[in-house]
Structure 1
Amino acid sequence: MNSHHVPPAPQGFADPEVHPGALSAAAAASILGAVGDVTFILDRDGTILDMAVSDRDLARMGVSGWVGTRWAANVTIESVPKVGEMLADVDAGAPPRWRQVNHATPNGDVPVRYLAMALGQHGRIIAIGRDMRAAAATQQRLLQTQQSLERDYIRLRQAEARYRMLFDLAHEPVLIVDAATRRIREANAAAHRLLGVRDGALADQPASMLVDADQREALVAFFGAAEAAAAPAPLTAALRKGLGEARINATLFRQARIALLLVRIEPVESAAPVEAEPDRLRDVVERMPDAFVLADADMTILTANAAFVDLAEVASPERVTGAALDAWLGRPGIDLELIAAQLREHGMVRNVATVLCGSGGGEEEVEVSGVAVPGENGSGQFGFTIRTVGRRLREVADPGRDVPRSVEQLTDLVGRMSLKEIVRESTDLIERLCIEAALTYTSDNRASAAEILGVSRQSLYSKLHRHGLGSLVASDEA
C-alpha cells in the first residue's frame, strides 16, 4: 500500500442541476462580478464584450473604458503571450489555471491574477481577475526584511571574526568558562601554550584542571565569589604539572541568558629571566621576504615564518604549526608528493612551479626550492623556501605577446592550466610560428606572406598585431 500522502483533487458540486440549480441571469452576473476584483466577458478572439469591476482603485484607473478593446492590448508586452496561452487553453478545453499578467495603467503596472474558462455555448469566455498589488507589496516588504536580516547577519559575522582574531592573537592566556557547569568553553592560543597542551584540547574540560589537585577547591570557590562580586581579588594558585604559580582573574558576563566567566591567567615569575642572546638566524628567517617552512618527514609543518603566514591567509603561526603542508601548498595528492619523492631521492629540489592556496580560497603561483635534512630512523626534516612568481610574471610579460614562444614553454604550462587552455595556447603558438616562417621566406614581404598562407592581407595584419610581430606601416598597404 502506498504510504505517500496524495493531496485531494479539486471537487465541484455533486449535483449542479439541483444544487444550486438554475440561476437567474442577474444572480449569475452578481456572483461572477463578486468573485474577482475585475471580471471580463470575452469573445473567442479575446475582445472584451462586457466587464464588472468591484475594486474601487481599479475603477478609478479607467478599467471600465476597456470594453470593446482586445484583452491583450491592455497588458504589458511581456504579458501578451500569457493572455494568448489562456485563450488557447480555453479553446482546447484544457483545465483552467491561474496566470498573472500586468496591466499598463496611467498609475503604473498593475499585477492581476486571472482564471479564464468557457462560458456557455456561444464561444463566450469569462476571465476572473484578482488584484495582486497587496500581495506584491507584502512580498516586497518580506524581501526587504530578508535583505535587512542578511545585512545584519553579515555585520555580526564580521564583528565576530574581528573579536575572534583579537581573542586568538592576545598574548595573555584567556579562557571562557561556563559559570553553571564550571567547564571551559573556549581558550585562546596563549592559554594552550601556557598549559602545554595542543590547540583545542582545553575545550569542554573542567576548569579545575588548570591548577594542582590540592588547590582545585579554592579555584571553584573563587569562581563562586566571581559570580557574587563585581571584581573579586585575584587568586594565586599553582598551575597543573608543576608549570609554576599564576594569578587568576575572573569576570562574570552574560551571553544569550547564560552566565559565563572571562578567566585571565597571569604567570608569576619567580625570578627575572636571564636575557638570552638573540637568535640571529631565526630573526633573519622570520624577516625573509620569501616564505620559509620547516616540515617533518610526514610533511607536517613544524614552524613557518611571517611571509608564509601571510600567503596562507591565517591569523597567526600557531594556526599552521602542526597542520599538513599540503593543506596550502600544491594540488592535493599531486605536487607535494612529487616534491617529497625528489627530496628523498636527490636531497634537494630547485624552483619547482606549483600553487599556494590561501585559507580565503585564493591561489598564488609560486616556485618552491627545498632541501632534505636526514635524521635517525627516518625522522628527517624538510626545509622549503616559497617565492611568489604570479605577479612577477604578469608584470614583465609583453602585453602584445603573451603566447608561449617555444614548445618547451608550452609544456611548462602542464599543471598550471587545463588541457583545453593549453590546446588554445598551442594553436596560437603554431599560428605565430607559421607567420614568422612565411615572413622569413618572403623577406618580410607581407603581401607575399599573406598569399602563401592563404589569408587576406587584412587578416594577416590583424594576426601580426595580435601576436606582436610588428605594426602596419604605410608601405604595407601599397
Structure 2
Amino acid sequence: MLSRKYSIEKRPTFGDVSAFEGLAPEAVMQLAMAGGDITLVLDDKGRILDASANGNEFPVFEQWIGQEWFDTVTVESQTKLMEMLASARKGQVQHWRHVNHIGDEGDLPVAYVVINTGDNGRLIAIGRSMREEAALQQRLLQAQQALERDYMRLRQNQARYRLLLEKSPEAVLVVEHENYRIREANPAAHRLLGEKKGSLVGSKLLPLFAAGERESLIELMGSAMASDTVSPRVARLREGETEISVTASGFRQQGARWLLLHLAPTQSDPVAVDGPISDVVAAMPDAFVLTDDDMRIVAGNVAFAELIGAASIDQVRGKSIGDFVGRPGIDLELIRGQLGKSGFASNVMTVVGEQEDGGGEPVELSAVQTEGGNPHVGFVLRPVGRRLRDLPPTAHDLPRSVEQLTELVGRMSLKDIVRESTDLIERLCIEAALTYTSDNRASAAEILGLSRQSLYSKLNRYGFANSVAKPD
C-alpha cells in the first residue's frame, strides 16, 4: 500500500536541474501520465480541466472533465482533497493520500499526490489505483475473520470436550502411546484409582497397576493402535486387590499416537452361575442382556452379541444399551417408565442398530427389573423383521386415504379438506401408537405427548373406544 515512504518529502533533489530545462509540453505530459494510473489537470479551485487514465481502471473518467474534483469522490474523502489542494497552493511537499472515487460498481480507491505547476495556477493530481491493494486487504480481512471463527469454534469444542470429560460418570484417561504418560484424566478416573484430584495428569500409567498386570496392559494398548475391536482387560491396581476393567482405543493427532482408556470397576457376571440357568441363557435363540440400574451392559449371551454385531459381549460391557437398542430419547424412556410403574415391560416394538435414515432391525423387547439395593434390568430381544414383512396390509392404507381426500376437491371447501386431512393424520398417528405399544393406551399417550384423558377423548371421536386395549 502507498504510504509516506513513497512521498518525495525528505528525498534529495537532483543536483543538476538543467536536464529538466526546456522540456517540451509533450514530455511533461508523458512524465505526468507515467507517474500514475490517472492524471488530472486542475485549476486552483479544484475543478477538473483535463484528465488522462486507463479506461479499464477508470471507465468514467471522461465524465469528470469539467466537474469539481470534490463531486467525484465520496463524502469522507472530500476533507482529504481540501487538505491536498491547500498544501499544493502553498507549494508544500505532499505525500500520497487515499481517496475513494464514486463508481457505478462501487468505490474506486486511488492514492493521489497534487503538484503545483507554477504561476499559472494549474495543479496536477497524479493518482495510482489501489484496487489490487484493496482486494488484498479484503482477502486479508476475510482470512482474519475466518481464523477468528475457527478459533471460536475451537474454543467452543474445547469447552464442550472439557465439560463432557469433567461430567462423565465413566473414568477416562488420555495417554501418550510412546511413554504411557497420562495427559488427561477426568474426576471419575481419580476417584476410581484412589488418587487426589489433578494428581494423575503428567504421571506414568503403568505404576498405577500391580507389577504382574503391566505386560498385559502394554499388550492391550499395542493392540488398540492396530485394531478397533479389542476386548477389555481386567487388571489389578497396585494397592490391594481392587480390579478394574480397562478398554483401550487408539488415535493419531498432530503426528503423535494417543490412547483413550475407559476404566470401570469389575462386576461379577450375574448370568455366569453354576447350574442349568447359565446353560439355558447362553444357548437360548433370543438375545438376552443384563444391565445395571443406569442401563449399562453388565452381561449378555452370544445371541445378543450377534444381534448388535459385536465380536463378544466383553466388547460392549459397560456401555449403555441405548447405544445399540431403540430410538434415541423414545424407546428407552418408554421402557423406563413402564419398569418404574410395574417392574416390567412386555412386547415393546423397537429397533436394533438404528441408522441416520431411520432404518434398523425391528425387534420385540421385553424387560424386567429386579428389586433390592442393587437393581438390575434383564432384556429379551426377538427379531421380528420377517413377521412384519408377512403381515397383510392394514385397512387404513395412507395412499388410498390421500386419494379419497383429493377426490373431495370441488365438492368441499379447502378449509374443510384441510380439517379432514388433519383428522386423518391424527387418526393414523393414534393407530400407529397403539400398534407400536401393543394397544397399551398409557404408553401410546406418552409417545404421542398427550394426557390419557385427551387420548381417550380422541379414541371416542375416531371410533376406537370399543377396541381391545391392554390394561394401563
Give the structure-1-normalised TM-score.
Answer: 0.50
Matches within 5 A, 1:236-385: 236-242=234-240, 244-269=242-267
SS at match of 2:239: helix
Superposed displacement of residue 84, structure 1: 0.7
Q: Matches of 2:32 and 2:160 in 1, distance apart?
A: 62
Residue equivalent to 1:351 = none
Q: Matches of 2:68 and 2:226 in 1, distance apart?
A: 80
Specify which of 180, 183, 206 is matched with residue 182 of structure 1: 180
Q: Matches of 1:76 and 1:41 in 2, distance apart?
A: 20
Amino acid at match of 1:120: G
1:152-177 superposed Cα distances (whole Å, 9 cap, x missing partner): 33233223322322222121211001
Amino acid at match of 2:25: A
Q: Matches of 1:19 and 1:211 in 2, distance apart?
A: 91
Residue equivalent to 2:4 = none
Superposed displacement of residue 22, structure 1: 5.7
Find out whether 1:112 has 2:110 as its counterpart: yes
Find out whether 1:210 has 2:208 as its counterpart: yes
Q: Matches of 1:11 and 1:183 in 2, distance apart?
A: 63
1:26-80 superposed Cα distances (whole Å, 9 cap, x missing partner): 122112112212111222222223222134341x32x223333322232223222
Aligned residues of 1:100 and 1:113 also touching (Cα < 8 A): yes
SS at match of 2:195: coil
Amino acid at match of 2:140: L
Aligned residues of 1:177 and 1:183 also touching (Cα < 8 A): yes
Residue equivalent to 1:32 = 32
Superposed displacement of residue 179, structure 1: 0.8
Cα RMSD, aligned residues only: 2.7
The higher-RCO structure (CA 8 Å, 6+ apart) is 2
SS at match of 1:171: coil
Q: Matches of 2:130 and 2:117 in 1, distance apart?
A: 24
Amino acid at match of 1:47: R
SS at match of 1:113: strand
SS at match of 2:15: coil
Residue equivalent to 2:221 = 223
Aligned residues of 2:166 and 2:187 also touching (Cα < 8 A): yes
Q: Matches of 2:10 and 2:200 in 1, distance apart?
A: 61
Residue equivalent to 1:318 = none
Q: Matches of 1:248 and 1:222 in 2, distance apart?
A: 9
1:183-237 superposed Cα distances (whole Å, 9 cap, x missing partner): 1110111001112222221111111122023433432333223323433332222
Residue equivalent to 1:157 = 155
Residue equivalent to 2:44 = 44
Q: Matches of 1:127 and 1:159 in 2, distance apart?
A: 54
1:391-430 superposed Cα distances (whole Å, 9 cap, x missing partner): xxxxxxxxxxxxxxxxxxxxxxxxxxxxxxxxxxxxxxxx
Quick one: structure 1 residues 175 and 120, their matched pair in 2 at CA, closer, same or farther if it must change by over 3 Å?
A: same
- The answer to which of 219-228 and 17-26 deviates more is 17-26
Residue equivalent to 1:195 = 193
Matches within 5 A, 1:54-65: 54-58=54-58, 60-61=59-60, 63-65=61-63
Quick one: structure 1 residues 9 and 257, their matched pair in 2 at CA, closer, same or farther if it must change by over 3 Å?
A: farther
Quick one: structure 1 residues 88 and 234, their matched pair in 2 at CA, closer, same or farther if it must change by over 3 Å?
A: same
Unaligned runs of 5+ residues in structure 2 are 1-7, 271-472
Quick one: structure 1 residues 161 and 217, their matched pair in 2 at CA, closer, same or farther if it must change by over 3 Å?
A: same
Aligned residues of 1:34 and 1:54 also touching (Cα < 8 A): no
Q: Matches of 2:207 and 2:97 in 1, distance apart?
A: 68
Q: Matches of 2:9 and 2:118 in 1, distance apart?
A: 24
Q: Matches of 1:156 and 1:243 in 2, distance apart?
A: 42
Aligned residues of 2:9 and 2:93 also touching (Cα < 8 A): no
Residue equivalent to 2:355 = none
Superposed displacement of residue 145, structure 1: 3.1
> How many percent of aligned residue pairs carry the same amino acid?
42
Aligned residues of 2:173 and 2:185 also touching (Cα < 8 A): yes
SS at match of 1:165: helix
Amino acid at match of 2:139: R
Aligned residues of 2:88 and 2:114 also touching (Cα < 8 A): yes
Specify which of 77, 86, 90 is matched with residue 88 of structure 2: 90
Superposed displacement of residue 126, structure 1: 1.5
Residue equivalent to 1:309 = none
Aligned residues of 2:42 and 2:49 also touching (Cα < 8 A): yes
Residue equivalent to 2:124 = 126
Aligned residues of 1:195 and 1:240 also touching (Cα < 8 A): no
SS at match of 1:248: strand
Aligned residues of 1:195 and 1:243 also touching (Cα < 8 A): no
SS at match of 2:220: helix
